[in-house]
Every structure is written in C-alpha cells, then in structure tokens.
Amino acid sequence: MGESYKNILVAVDGSDQSENAFQEAIKIAKRNGATLHILSVIEEMGNYFGELTMSMGTVMEELRSREEEEMKKRETKALEQGITNVFTYVMYGYPKSLIADFTESKEPIDLIVIGRTGLNGFERLMVGSTTSYVVNHTKANVLVVNNIV
C-alpha cells in the first residue's frame, strides 16, 4: 500500500453521508500530509418558475452566503484537526460533473472522498446517483464512505 495522496477532494452537501465523508477525508489528508479541497455545489435552477425567476437570483445569493459560512466552519474544523493546507469552493452548476471533473486546484486531485447516495433504487434509476456518476467518470481514485453509525 504505497499510495500517497497529495490532493484530496471531498464533496459536501450538508447530508449525514457527506459529513461522514468530510471526517474521513480529514483523517486521510492528515495521514498523507495532503492538501484538502472541500467542494460544495449549488445546483443551478433553470428558468422553471416564470415570473419567480427574478427572485431566484436572490435565493441563489442567499444559498451561496449560507454555504460559504458553512465552508468556513469546515475549514476551521480541518485546520483544528491538523490539516495545514485547506481550500474551500462553493460553485454553481451540476454536482455530478463538477465533482468528477474538478479542475479548480493547481495540482490534479488524486483522491475524491464522497458519501454514498441516500436515494432508493427507483430514485437512482430516475435521476442517477451523483456518487455512481463520479465513480464512473473521474480519473481520480474515489473513496465512497458509507453512512454507518
């Protein structure tokens, strides 16, 4: 087991699964002396709401503001646990592709840590699992963290 990870990406969305993935990513980053990249994706809403579209910009700004506050807390938590290099990103877009094709770091990501899907089988069939997409479309290694309590 000679693999050493230098740039670890963890995708978070506030769910229990992503918080477990975040904790696991901290442990791995600490063991490897790696840089930890924490990503939150705010899924963009299309023009689905007719006259409500104008207010959607305000809603999206509020979501971003709240998520940036949460990311500051995660960054502080990682620093407190001994990670020396932490970068946070709040992005708008399609979570599956932004996670799988993450290019915001200066160095390539060599490990993605992500929580397993909480969707049931029918929902996965209809909308697909972000985790499954990432596993099948990224060049990096992927660690899927189960939500085992």
Place of tokens 């990682």: 78
CB 74 within 8 A of CB 66: no
Single pTM value for the model:
0.85
- What residues in the chain have per-residue pLDDT under 50? 1, 119-120, 123, 126-127, 149
In whole angstroms, what is the distance from residue 143 CA to residue 111 CA?
7
Sequence-distant (≥ 6) Cβ neighbours of residue 140 within 8 angstroms: 9, 108, 109, 110, 111, 112
Sequence-distant (≥ 6) Cβ neighbours of residue 148 within 8 angstroms: none
pLDDT score at 41: 93
pLDDT score at 126: 47
CB 143 within 8 A of CB 24: yes
For the domain covering 7-84+95-145, report its CATH number. 3.40.50.620
Place of tokens 């709240």: 66
pLDDT score at 146: 84
pLDDT score at 46: 57
pLDDT score at 91: 93
